[in-house]
């Protein structure tokens, strides 16, 4: 139960801060809106990096590993850290936590939805999407980006990197740095979901919330941020095994 609660709370924090920075940049008459103070991609990528760090710390404080990501949980199943019966409830908790975090953002920005007419900006506050309508290209980008995420996270924990052991909690700062780098480098084509829960949970909330100015939740795209990271778990595991990282 402690692992489930930890990942639920950690992912709630992740999406509250992550979707929150998207709302701040995307929604009309918000402080960081691009038309007000020029907020943009640097702001969003930094916000998501901090969101990962904060969510991981909350998960750690409750006894969790701070994965916050069903695809990372799958990677750890392949590596032998979890069994499937243990992993599935954790994955579900992460999706539910992501839903709650997105709902918190809706409440926090309640007056701003009705003054935002851009349906894409509203959906982009909750979920990812391809900048060029080519789902296979976006899928490939998600696989590549998430594969590098898992390789880097594994490298951070290597004995050749940490020596006698990493200072508790320091890995969360490294993970945040990696997320920021991925957003800046590989986030352009698909919005770098890297995480099925991060996209699916908020997309569900977008679909059910009473936002009069919203448009489609674009369910035809949802397979990209779900199956891309899951496939990356297998690819990254193969790379880590073949190179000796695991």
Which pTM does this prediction carry? 0.95
Model pLDDT for residues 76-100, shown as the tens digit of each residue: 999 999 999 999 999 999 999 999 9
Model pLDDT for residues 21-61, shown as the tens digit of each residue: 999 999 999 988 876 666 799 999 999 999 999 999 999 99
Q: Is the pLDDT of residue 194 over 70?
A: yes
- Compute the mean pLDDT over every residue in the chain, rounded to the nearest whole number: 96
Q: What whole-number distance in Å separates Cα of residue 66 and Cα of residue 77?
A: 15
Structurally, the chain folds into a number of domains equal to 1
Q: Tell me what percent of the residues of the chain surpass a pLDDT of 70.
A: 98
Which of the two residues, 104 and 33, has the higher pLDDT score? 104
Find out whether 83 and 77 touch, Cβ atoms under 8 Å.
yes
Give the per-residue pLDDT at 37. Answer: 63
Domain that holds residue 83: 2-243
Give the per-residue pLDDT at 146. Answer: 99
Give the per-residue pLDDT at 113. Answer: 97
In the structure encoding, which two tokens stand for residue 81, read together?
């850290």
Q: Tell me what percent of the residues of the chain surpass a pLDDT of 90.
A: 90
Give the per-residue pLDDT at 38. Answer: 65
CATH code of residue 74: 1.20.1080.10
Give the per-residue pLDDT at 233. Answer: 99
Give the per-residue pLDDT at 161. Answer: 82
User: What are the distances in angstroms from CA 46 to CA 17, 82, 140, 183?
Assistant: 11, 31, 23, 9
Q: What whole-number distance in Å separates Cα of residue 64 and Cα of residue 9?
A: 10
Model pLDDT for residues 119-159, shown as the tens digit of each residue: 999 999 999 999 999 999 999 999 999 999 999 999 998 88
Positive or negative torsion for Cα 127, 83, 60, 235: negative
Q: Is the pLDDT of residue 162 over 80?
A: no
């Amino acid at each position: 139960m402690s692992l489930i609660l930890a990942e639920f709370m950690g992912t709630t924090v992740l999406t509250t801060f992550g979707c929150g920075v998207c709302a701040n940049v995307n929604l009309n008459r918000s402080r960081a809106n691009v038309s007000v103070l020029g907020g943009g991609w640097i702001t969003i990528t930094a916000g998501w990096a901090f969101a990962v760090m904060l969510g991981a710390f909350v998960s750690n404080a409750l006894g969790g590993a701070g994965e916050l990501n069903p695809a990372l949980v799958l990677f750890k199943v392949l590596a032998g850290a979890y069994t499937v019966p243990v992993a599935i409830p954790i994955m579900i908790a992460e999706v539910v936590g992501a839903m709650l975090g997105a709902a918190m953002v809706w409440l926090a920005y309640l007056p701003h939805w009705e003054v935002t007419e851009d349906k894409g900006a509203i959906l982009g506050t909750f979920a990812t999407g391809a900048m060029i309508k080519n789902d296979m290209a976006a899928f490939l980008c998600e696989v590549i980006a998430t594969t590098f995420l898992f390789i880097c996270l594994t490298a951070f924990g290597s004995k050749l990197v940490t020596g006698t052991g990493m200072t508790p909690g320091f890995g969360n700062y490294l993970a945040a740095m990696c997320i920021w780098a991925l957003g800046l480098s590989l986030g352009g084509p698909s919005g770098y979901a890297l995480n099925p829960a991060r996209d699916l949970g908020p997309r569900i909330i977008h679909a059910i919330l009473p936002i009069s100015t919203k448009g489609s939740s674009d369910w035809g795209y949802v397979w990209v941020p779900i199956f891309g990271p899951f496939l990356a778990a297998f690819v990254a595991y193969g790379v880590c095994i073949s190179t000796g990282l695991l």
